[in-house]
Every structure is written in structure tokens, then in C-alpha cells.
Amino acid sequence: MPESERQLPLPIFDDGGSQIAPQASEPVMQSNAEPVGTQPALWPEFQPAAHEDARPGAHPETGGGEGNGAGREDEAAWTAVHEEKPRSLTDLQRECLTCGKCDLRAGCTQVVFGEGNPRAKLMFVGEGPGQQEDIQGRPFVGAAGQLLDRILAAVGIRRDEVYITNIVKCRPPRNRLPTSEEAEACLPHLFTQIRAIKPKIIVCLGALATQTLIDKRARITRVRGNWFRKNGIMYMPTFHPAALLRDETKKRPVWEDMKQVKEALDKLDAT
Ligand code: SF4
């Protein structure tokens, strides 16, 4: 039996009876992985993969700065947030709920700040609230959220031990993708959340989260499943659960990605 099958339970992506048998033959990291210059002791086993689309010009492990592909506005927003006095998650949520910094607020029912363990080591970031999230005021409670719950359960991660939020906190009209302007306007809210929670691992669910948090030019189909490190946080890009609902062939790669996340989480818990 492959090693990964011994370590983790079989997946139970049991929507309509379809299941994914894990195939551990694929390598955990891509073959084009590059050594990391200054690897923290906590992460000696990670060799983040190099990819020209995700990392134009330089090494993302440098954690920001010239050539890591991140937008200057995003870097500035990250820096600005970290120059502010730290605030509690409760205060941040209160501020966010009254935000009207972009036009999305006018078209949604309520702001969906995020929820979960305020000290979570693992954080999930999606795109934006959908209809059910807008109604209930909670992230990932619709069909895609229910699938995310099953994915978490399949790899042995409890939803109440993680923190879940989105790039934008207000529902875009007709569930369209947020624009780059809307994402940029909302980014300070996400950065203050990250600063307050201090996750060790962030899973980027889908292209928007990947491009916003890792690199604007990243293609999710090519970078998913690879670790990136930036500002002291390990990032794992993978497909958004909504994409799995549309395309079942994406379930297996997500299963492989989430096994990596679970293994990393276990190592963190063991330290
Ligand atoms: S999407 Fe974000 S920036 Fe725009 S109004 Fe809502 S909370 Fe504010």
C-alpha cells in the first residue's frame, strides 16, 4: 500500500456517490523544485517549486520585494497593515461590517467577514461570498462550502480548527468574479485578518486568491499543488471547490493538494 494511503483515510467526496481513490504515485513536489536559500527549521522538507508563471524573475521565498511578482499595491497594503497598531479580530470584524469602500456593498445583503478559529494555523481564502453566504453571513455554506467540508473531513481536518474567509467580503452581483479594483479595495481587511490570526499555512482556493496572495501572473492549473513561502507564511494554491462541482476531474488534484496540507499541519502540531 502506498505510504500516503497508510497515513490518511480514504477520501469521501461523496457527492452523488463518486469517490476518488488516492493515487500516491504522483510526486508531492514538482520535479522542477528549487532549493530554498534560507529555509526555516520548521520547513526543512519543503522545496517550493519554481514556475515561470508563478514566479517571474525571482524566488518567492524571499518574501516580497523586488521580483517576486506580487503587485506593488499589494505589497504596500501588506506593509501598511503591519505598520498599524494590532487590533483584535472582533474589532476588525466590527470595522469590516460597516465598510463601504467599494460598490459591492451596495449590491449585497451583508458583509461576510469570515469565521473559524481565531488562532488557526491553517487558513482558507476563497474568492467572494455567493448567494447562501450573502443570506447567512457566513463563508462557504453553499454547495461549494459543503464540498469543502467533505474535503476537510476526508483528510482529517475539522472545520472548527481552521479559519475561512474570502478575498472580497461582499457578494459580487450574479456571483461574478470580483474585479481587481474590488479585490484591491478589500485586501486590507484580509491582511488585517491574517495579521491577527497569524496562520502558518494559507490555502488559496482558486485563481483569484492565488493571484492576489501569491502572484498576479500565476495560473492555477500550473501552480496548484506547489508550496510557496511569502512573508513567513506557507501558501498552497489549489482549485476552488466550485470548480470541482463543475469539473469532477479536478477532485483528484485537490485531494493530493489537501493531503500535503494535512501532512504539513501534522508536522506543525508535532513541533
Ligand atoms: S467588498 Fe470589501 S472593500 Fe468592498 S465594501 Fe465589502 S468589505 Fe468593503
Which tens digits make up the pLDDT trace of 244-269? 999 999 999 999 999 999 999 999 98
Q: Is 102 in the pocket of ligand 1 (CB under 6 A)?
A: yes
Q: Is residue 18 domain-resident? A: no
- Average pLDDT on 73-82 reads 77
> Who wins on pLDDT, 20 or 181?
181
**Integer Rg of the chain from CA:** 18
* Other Cβ atoms within 10 Å of 148 Cβ, number: 27
Q: Is residue 162 domain-resident? A: yes
Q: Is residue 205 domain-resident? A: yes
Q: Is residue 80 domain-resident? A: yes
Q: What is the CATH number of the domain that holds 135?
A: 3.40.470.10
Cβ within 8 Å of residue 108, ≥6 positions away: 129, 134, 170, 171
Pocket test for ligand 1, best of 101, 108, 182, 184 (most atoms within 8 A of CB): 101
Instruction: Dig out the grid coordinates for 227 from the structure.
Output: 508550496
Q: Is residue 25 domain-resident? A: no
**Ligand 1: nearest atom to the Cα of 128:** 1
Instruction: Dig out the grid coordinates for 13 from the structure.
Output: 467526496
Nearest CA to ligand 1 atom 2: 186
- The reported pLDDT for the residue numbered 73 is 67
Q: Which domain holds residue 261?
A: 50-270
pTM for the full model? 0.78
How many angstroms separate the alpha carbon of residue 139 from the centre of ligand 1?
14
Backbone torsion region of residue 207, taken as left when φ is above 0, otherwise alpha when ψ lies between -120 and 50, otherwise beta: alpha
Which range is least confidently modeled, 66-70, 110-114, 202-206? Answer: 66-70
Asked if 218 contacts 54 with a C-beta cutoff of 8 angstroms, the reply is: yes
Predicted confidence (pLDDT) at residue 70 exceeds the cutoff of 70: no
Q: Is 100 in the pocket of ligand 1 (CB under 6 A)?
A: yes
Nearest CA to ligand 1 atom 3: 186
How many angstroms separate the alpha carbon of residue 100 from the centre of ligand 1?
6
- The reported pLDDT for the residue numbered 138 is 98
Which range is least confidently modeled, 66-70, 102-106, 164-168, 247-251? Answer: 66-70
Q: Is 171 in the pocket of ligand 1 (CB under 6 A)?
A: no
- How many structural domains comprise the chain? 1
Question: 96 falls in which pLDDT band (50, 70, 90)?
Answer: very high
Q: Is 111 in the pocket of ligand 1 (CB under 6 A)?
A: yes
Predicted confidence (pLDDT) at residue 105 exceeds the cutoff of 80: yes
* Other Cβ atoms within 10 Å of 32 Cβ, number: 10
In whole numbers, what is the pLDDT of the chain averaged over residues? 79
Q: Is residue 31 domain-resident? A: no
Q: Is residue 138 domain-resident? A: yes
